[in-house]
């Protein structure tokens, strides 16, 4: 009776209940969250640009709430970089530099020993630095897409307040 009042017949009630059970018992990694409107899907990633200006660490924390394995975005190859640059040019109206998930994990003890890592654990050698970058030594430990074309990397002070790009798994 209650099922009828809810506007559902018994079979849809059962299928809804079934979905709920499936949802409850799936491991977290199997729950699919669709890419929100305004985001960009590339391969198995959903990229989201945020115009809110945050320092690098706050941006990374914000991205961790974005979705499954959410982090500031990583870039894996030239094709992905091209797609990201195209997306950012469409949505980054202010044209400001954009934080990515790359940072100097050795805290920049010296220029020669710098060790840049992606916050999402990506282990890729692809890092398209702008000419002369990274040049920040111990003062620029975080990495942005900093040119007007958003296709090359620049190390930057982590305290800069600027837009950021998140990525989560889909
Ligand atoms: Ca720099």
126-170 pLDDT, tens digit each: 999 999 999 998 899 999 998 889 999 999 999 999 999 999 999
Domain range for residue 4? Answer: 1-31
| pLDDT tens track for 37-91 | 999 999 999 999 999 999 999 999 999 998 889 999 999 999 999 999 999 999 9
Name every residue whose Cβ is closer than 8 Å to that of residue 4 and which is 6 or more positions away in sequence: none
Q: Please state the pTM of the whole predicted model.
A: 0.80
Do 149 and 70 fall into the same domain?
yes
Do 44 and 21 fall into the same domain?
no
How much is the pLDDT for 125? Answer: 87
Q: What is the CATH number of the domain that holds 108?
A: 3.10.100.10
Do 103 and 81 fall into the same domain?
yes
Distance 100 CA to ligand 1 centre (A): 14
Distance 129 CA to ligand 1 centre (A): 9
Distance (Å, whole) CA 67 – CA 79: 23
Do 10 and 41 fall into the same domain?
no
Q: What is the DSSP letter of 47?
A: E
Distance 49 CA to ligand 1 centre (A): 22
Do 26 and 62 fall into the same domain?
no
Domain count, the chain: 2
Do 53 and 124 fall into the same domain?
yes
Contact 166, 159 (CB under 8 A): no
35 to 44, 80, 85, 128: CA distances (angstroms): 10, 17, 18, 26
Length of the chain: 170
Do 76 and 157 fall into the same domain?
yes
Do 51 and 100 fall into the same domain?
yes
Contact 164, 70 (CB under 8 A): no
The residues whose Cβ lies within 5 A of ligand 1, an ion, are: 133, 135-136, 140, 154-155
């Amino acid at each position: 009776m209650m099922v009828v009042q809810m506007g559902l017949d018994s079979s849809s009630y059962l299928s809804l209940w079934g979905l709920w059970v499936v949802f409850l018992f799936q491991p977290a990694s199997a729950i699919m969250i669709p890419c929100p409107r305004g985001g960009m899907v590339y391969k198995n990633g959903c990229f989201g640009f945020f115009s809110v200006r945050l320092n690098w660490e706050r941006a990374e924390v914000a991205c961790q709430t974005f979705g499954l394995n959410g982090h500031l975005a990583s870039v894996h190859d030239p094709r992905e970089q091209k797609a990201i640059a195209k997306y950012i040019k469409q949505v980054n109206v202010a044209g400001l530099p954009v934080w990515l998930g790359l940072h100097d994990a050795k805290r920049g003890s010296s220029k020669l020993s710098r060790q840049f890592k992606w916050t999402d654990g990506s282990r890729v050698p692809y890092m398209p630095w702008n000419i002369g970058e990274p040049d920040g030594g111990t003062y620029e430990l975080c990495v942005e897409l900093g040119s007007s074309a958003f296709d090359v990397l620049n190390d930057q002070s982590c305290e800069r307040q600027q837009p950021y790009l998140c990525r989560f798994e889909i």
